[in-house]
Amino acid sequence: MAANEIRKNDVGTIFYGTIYDTAIVNLSSATVKQIILLKPDTTVIQKDASFVTDGTDGKLSYTTVAGDLSCCGIWKVQWLITLSSGTWYTDIKTFKVYSNLN
C-alpha cells in the first residue's frame, strides 16, 4: 500500500469528509449521505457514505470497492447530504489517482 498516493484499482481506500456550514454540521438525522466522485473521463460514481462515529461530529467516510478507482488522473470529490431542512452539496476537492507498473 502506498503511504501517500491513491493508485489505480486500489480497494479499501478510505475517503473522509467533515461537513461544515459556519460550524460543524450535526448529520445524525441525515436521510441521505453520499460521496460523489468524478473520474477524469467524466464518469460519475455516487455511493452511500457512512458516519465515522454517530454523525454529530459532521464526519463521513466511504471505503472504495473493486471498480471504483478504475482510471488514472485528476479526480474530483464532493459530499451530498439531506437533512429535514434541505439538501446540500459540499465544496469540490480534487485528488490524483496514480498508475501502477502493470
Q: What is the pLDDT along the chain (102 residues), one digit of tens a residue?
A: 567 899 999 999 999 999 998 899 999 999 999 999 999 999 999 999 999 999 999 999 999 999 999 999 999 999 999 999 999 999 999 999 999 998
d(CA 5, CA 91): 22
Q: What is the CATH number of domain 6-98?
A: 2.60.40.1220
Task: Note the pLDDT of residue 1.
Answer: 58
pLDDT tens per residue across span 50-60: 999 999 999 99
| Residue owning grid cell 473522509 | 16
Q: How far is CA 46 from the centre of its chain?
A: 9
d(CA 90, CA 92): 6
Can you give the pTM of this predicted structure?
A: 0.92
d(CA 100, CA 91): 29
